[in-house]
Homo-oligomer: A and B are copies of this chain.
Protein backbone atom coordinates (compact mmCIF):
# COMPACT_ATOMS: atom_id res chain seq x y z
CA UNK A 1 0.00 0.00 0.00
CA UNK A 2 1.38 3.37 -0.99
CA UNK A 3 2.14 5.79 1.79
CA UNK A 4 -0.02 8.91 1.86
CA UNK A 5 1.55 12.18 2.83
CA UNK A 6 -0.33 15.37 3.41
CA UNK A 7 1.48 18.61 2.71
CA UNK A 8 -0.02 21.60 4.49
CA UNK A 9 1.66 24.62 3.03
CA UNK A 10 0.20 27.85 1.72
CA UNK A 11 2.85 28.74 -0.83
CA UNK A 12 2.02 26.75 -3.91
CA UNK A 13 5.52 26.79 -5.46
CA UNK A 14 7.02 25.21 -2.36
CA UNK A 15 4.17 22.74 -2.17
CA UNK A 16 4.70 21.78 -5.80
CA UNK A 17 8.39 21.38 -5.29
CA UNK A 18 7.83 19.09 -2.33
CA UNK A 19 5.19 17.21 -4.23
CA UNK A 20 7.41 16.47 -7.18
CA UNK A 21 10.34 15.52 -4.99
CA UNK A 22 8.29 13.22 -2.80
CA UNK A 23 6.30 11.65 -5.62
CA UNK A 24 9.63 10.58 -7.01
CA UNK A 25 10.30 8.80 -3.75
CA UNK A 26 7.12 6.81 -4.18
CA UNK A 27 4.81 8.64 -1.83
CA UNK A 28 1.24 9.49 -2.65
CA UNK A 29 0.76 13.19 -2.05
CA UNK A 30 -2.24 15.05 -0.70
CA UNK A 31 -2.22 18.80 -0.52
CA UNK A 32 -3.77 21.55 1.51
CA UNK A 33 -3.20 25.28 1.24
CA UNK A 34 -4.41 26.22 4.71
CA UNK A 35 -4.80 24.78 8.16
CA UNK A 36 -8.53 24.40 7.86
CA UNK A 37 -8.25 22.66 4.55
CA UNK A 38 -5.59 20.44 6.06
CA UNK A 39 -7.92 19.31 8.80
CA UNK A 40 -10.58 18.53 6.25
CA UNK A 41 -8.20 16.44 4.20
CA UNK A 42 -7.06 14.55 7.27
CA UNK A 43 -10.66 13.82 8.06
CA UNK A 44 -11.44 12.63 4.58
CA UNK A 45 -8.25 10.79 3.66
CA UNK A 46 -6.39 9.87 6.82
CA UNK A 47 -2.85 10.35 5.59
CA UNK A 48 0.01 8.37 7.09
CA UNK A 49 2.06 11.44 7.84
CA UNK A 50 1.60 15.20 7.77
CA UNK A 51 4.12 17.81 6.70
CA UNK A 52 2.93 20.90 8.45
CA UNK A 53 4.14 24.37 7.67
CA UNK A 54 4.66 26.59 10.64
CA UNK A 55 3.18 29.74 9.13
CA UNK A 56 -0.24 29.37 7.63
CA UNK A 57 -2.70 32.03 6.57
CA UNK A 58 -5.63 31.00 8.76
CA UNK A 59 -4.10 29.40 11.83
CA UNK A 60 -0.65 28.57 13.08
CA UNK A 61 0.89 25.16 12.62
CA UNK A 62 0.71 24.67 16.35
CA UNK A 63 -3.04 25.16 16.35
CA UNK A 64 -3.40 22.61 13.61
CA UNK A 65 -1.17 20.16 15.46
CA UNK A 66 -3.13 20.68 18.66
CA UNK A 67 -6.39 20.02 16.88
CA UNK A 68 -5.04 16.88 15.26
CA UNK A 69 -3.63 15.49 18.48
CA UNK A 70 -6.89 16.24 20.22
CA UNK A 71 -9.00 14.02 18.01
CA UNK A 72 -9.14 10.30 18.41
CA UNK A 73 -9.00 9.60 14.71
CA UNK A 74 -6.01 11.76 13.95
CA UNK A 75 -3.98 11.62 17.16
CA UNK A 76 -1.79 8.78 15.92
CA UNK A 77 -0.76 10.46 12.69
CA UNK A 78 2.85 11.64 12.88
CA UNK A 79 3.58 15.26 12.09
CA UNK A 80 6.74 16.82 10.73
CA UNK A 81 6.88 20.56 11.24
CA UNK A 82 8.31 22.64 8.44
CA UNK A 83 9.87 25.86 9.70
CA UNK A 84 11.80 28.65 8.07
CA UNK A 85 15.26 29.49 9.21
CA UNK A 86 15.19 31.81 12.18
CA UNK A 87 12.11 30.27 13.69
CA UNK A 88 14.36 28.02 15.70
CA UNK A 89 12.54 28.54 18.95
CA UNK A 90 9.33 27.46 17.41
CA UNK A 91 10.75 24.05 16.76
CA UNK A 92 10.78 23.43 20.44
CA UNK A 93 7.19 24.55 20.79
CA UNK A 94 6.23 22.40 17.86
CA UNK A 95 7.75 19.35 19.42
CA UNK A 96 6.04 20.12 22.68
CA UNK A 97 2.71 20.22 20.95
CA UNK A 98 3.06 16.83 19.46
CA UNK A 99 5.14 17.14 16.31
CA UNK A 100 7.35 14.10 15.74
CA UNK A 101 10.14 15.89 13.93
CA UNK A 102 10.91 19.18 12.24
CA UNK A 103 12.83 20.35 9.23
CA UNK A 104 14.12 23.79 8.37
CA UNK A 105 13.67 25.48 5.02
CA UNK A 106 15.52 25.32 2.75
CA UNK A 107 16.04 21.60 2.79
CA UNK A 108 17.06 19.04 0.22
CA UNK A 109 14.48 16.58 -1.09
CA UNK A 110 16.77 13.81 0.05
CA UNK A 111 16.84 15.05 3.59
CA UNK A 112 13.07 15.43 3.63
CA UNK A 113 12.46 11.92 2.34
CA UNK A 114 14.93 10.53 4.84
CA UNK A 115 13.24 12.25 7.77
CA UNK A 116 9.85 11.06 6.63
CA UNK A 117 11.02 7.50 6.45
CA UNK A 118 12.71 7.77 9.81
CA UNK A 119 9.53 9.02 11.45
CA UNK A 120 7.42 6.39 9.76
CA UNK A 121 9.84 3.68 10.80
CA UNK A 122 9.66 4.89 14.35
CA UNK A 123 5.91 5.17 14.45
CA UNK A 124 4.36 2.73 12.05
CA UNK A 125 5.57 -0.61 13.38
CA UNK A 126 3.70 0.11 16.56
CA UNK A 127 0.56 1.15 14.78
CA UNK A 128 0.57 -1.57 12.16
CA UNK A 129 1.66 -4.44 14.34
CA UNK A 130 -0.72 -3.68 17.11
CA UNK A 131 -3.46 -6.19 17.67
CA UNK A 132 -6.90 -4.78 17.04
CA UNK A 133 -9.98 -5.94 18.89
CA UNK A 134 -13.51 -4.84 18.30
CA UNK A 135 -16.23 -6.56 20.21
CA UNK A 136 -15.97 -10.26 19.38
CA UNK A 137 -13.48 -9.90 16.55
CA UNK A 138 -9.75 -9.64 17.00
CA UNK A 139 -7.04 -9.30 14.41
CA UNK A 140 -3.35 -9.71 15.09
CA UNK A 141 -1.12 -8.45 12.28
CA UNK A 142 1.95 -9.92 13.94
CA UNK A 143 0.78 -13.50 13.78
CA UNK A 144 -1.56 -12.80 10.88
CA UNK A 145 -4.43 -14.28 12.84
CA UNK A 146 -8.07 -13.42 13.06
CA UNK A 147 -10.28 -14.73 15.81
CA UNK A 148 -14.04 -14.35 15.91
CA UNK A 149 -15.83 -15.50 19.02
CA UNK A 150 -12.89 -17.67 19.90
CA UNK A 151 -12.91 -19.34 16.50
CA UNK A 152 -9.87 -19.09 14.27
CA UNK A 153 -10.76 -17.54 10.95
CA UNK A 154 -8.78 -18.16 7.79
CA UNK A 155 -8.61 -15.28 5.34
CA UNK A 156 -6.89 -14.59 2.04
CA UNK A 157 -4.42 -11.70 1.91
CA UNK A 158 -6.91 -9.26 0.46
CA UNK A 159 -9.63 -10.12 2.94
CA UNK A 160 -7.10 -9.76 5.72
CA UNK A 161 -6.01 -6.32 4.59
CA UNK A 162 -9.60 -5.28 4.10
CA UNK A 163 -10.61 -6.38 7.57
CA UNK A 164 -7.56 -4.74 9.05
CA UNK A 165 -8.38 -1.48 7.36
CA UNK A 166 -11.96 -1.64 8.53
CA UNK A 167 -10.93 -2.41 12.08
CA UNK A 168 -8.46 0.43 12.19
CA UNK A 169 -11.28 2.73 11.13
CA UNK A 170 -14.45 1.39 12.65
CA UNK A 171 -17.85 3.03 12.34
CA UNK A 172 -16.88 4.82 9.23
CA UNK A 173 -18.40 4.36 5.83
CA UNK A 174 -16.15 3.86 2.83
CA UNK A 175 -17.25 3.77 -0.74
CA UNK A 176 -15.79 1.30 -3.16
CA UNK A 177 -13.31 3.76 -4.62
CA UNK A 178 -11.92 4.61 -1.21
CA UNK A 179 -11.56 0.96 -0.33
CA UNK A 180 -9.77 0.25 -3.58
CA UNK A 181 -7.43 3.18 -3.00
CA UNK A 182 -6.70 2.33 0.60
CA UNK A 183 -6.69 -1.45 0.63
CA UNK A 184 -5.68 -2.42 -2.88
CA UNK A 185 -3.44 0.60 -3.36
CA UNK A 186 -3.64 3.69 -5.49
CA UNK A 187 -2.16 2.32 -8.67
CA UNK A 188 -4.27 -0.78 -9.01
CA UNK A 189 -6.97 -0.91 -11.59
CA UNK A 190 -9.80 -3.16 -10.63
CA UNK A 191 -13.52 -2.98 -11.12
CA UNK A 192 -15.49 -1.44 -8.30
CA UNK A 193 -17.71 -4.50 -8.15
CA UNK A 194 -14.73 -6.55 -7.09
CA UNK A 195 -15.07 -4.95 -3.70
CA UNK A 196 -18.49 -6.55 -3.33
CA UNK A 197 -17.02 -9.95 -3.86
CA UNK A 198 -14.34 -9.50 -1.25
CA UNK A 199 -16.87 -8.09 1.18
CA UNK A 200 -18.87 -11.21 0.60
CA UNK A 201 -15.87 -13.45 1.24
CA UNK A 202 -14.99 -11.56 4.38
CA UNK A 203 -18.54 -11.72 5.70
CA UNK A 204 -18.69 -15.42 4.99
CA UNK A 205 -15.43 -16.02 6.81
CA UNK A 206 -16.50 -13.96 9.81
CA UNK A 207 -19.77 -15.80 10.09
CA UNK A 208 -17.78 -19.00 10.67
CA UNK A 209 -17.35 -17.58 14.13
CA UNK A 210 -20.92 -16.34 14.31
CA UNK A 211 -19.94 -12.72 13.70
CA UNK A 212 -22.62 -11.78 11.29
CA UNK A 213 -23.43 -8.12 11.28
CA UNK A 214 -20.07 -6.54 11.61
CA UNK A 215 -19.83 -5.38 8.03
CA UNK A 216 -22.79 -3.26 7.22
CA UNK A 217 -23.98 -2.12 3.84
CA UNK A 218 -24.86 1.52 3.54
CA UNK A 219 -26.90 1.66 0.42
CA UNK A 220 -25.78 4.22 -2.10
CA UNK A 221 -22.65 4.91 -0.10
CA UNK A 222 -20.53 1.90 0.72
CA UNK A 223 -19.62 -0.32 3.63
CA UNK A 224 -18.93 0.15 7.30
CA UNK A 225 -17.38 -2.02 9.99
CA UNK A 226 -18.86 -1.75 13.43
CA UNK A 227 -19.90 -3.93 16.31
CA UNK A 228 -23.52 -4.89 15.78
CA UNK A 229 -26.27 -3.72 18.08
CA UNK A 230 -26.32 -5.65 21.31
CA UNK A 231 -29.96 -6.23 22.05
A residues sitting closer than 8 Å to B (CB atoms) are 16, 20, 23-24, 30, 37, 40-41, 43-45, 92, 95-96, 98, 108, 110-111, 114, 117-118, 121-122, 126-130, 142-145, 152, 156-157, 171-173, 177, 181, 186, 189, 218-221, 224, 226, 229
Q: How far is the CB of A3 from chain B (nearest CB, A)?
A: 15
Among residues of B, the one whose C-beta sits closest to the C-beta of A220 is: B157
Q: How far is the CB of A7 from chain B (nearest CB, A)?
A: 13
Given A172-B142, A172-B143, A189-B111; A219-B152 close (CB under 8 Å)? no
User: Which label, helix, strand, loop or mixed, suits the secondary structure of the A interface?
Assistant: helix
For A23, give its contact among B95, B117, B142, B219 (CB under 8 Å).
Answer: B95
For A126, give its contact among B44, B126, B181 (CB under 8 Å).
Answer: B44
Contact between chains at B229 and A118 (CB < 8 Å) = no
- The interface residues of chain B lying within 8 Å CB-to-CB of A98 are 16
Q: How far is the CB of A197 from chain B (nearest CB, A)?
A: 17
Contact between chains at B43 and A221 (CB < 8 Å) = no
Q: How far is the CB of A70 from chain B (nearest CB, A)?
A: 14
Contact between chains at A156 and B219 (CB < 8 Å) = yes
Contact between chains at A95 and B20 (CB < 8 Å) = yes
- The interface residues of chain B lying within 8 Å CB-to-CB of A130 are 43
- The interface residues of chain B lying within 8 Å CB-to-CB of A95 are 20, 23
For A189, give its contact among B44, B114, B171 (CB under 8 Å).
Answer: B114
Contact between chains at B224 and A143 (CB < 8 Å) = yes
- The interface residues of chain B lying within 8 Å CB-to-CB of A128 are 40, 43
- The interface residues of chain B lying within 8 Å CB-to-CB of A110 are 189
In Å, the complex CA distance between A121 and B37 comes to 16
In Å, the complex CA distance between A117 and B189 comes to 11
Given A218-B144, A224-B144; A20-B173 close (CB under 8 Å)? no
In Å, the complex CA distance between A145 and B129 comes to 30
Contact between chains at A152 and B186 (CB < 8 Å) = no
Q: How far is the CB of A126 from chain B (nearest CB, A)?
A: 5
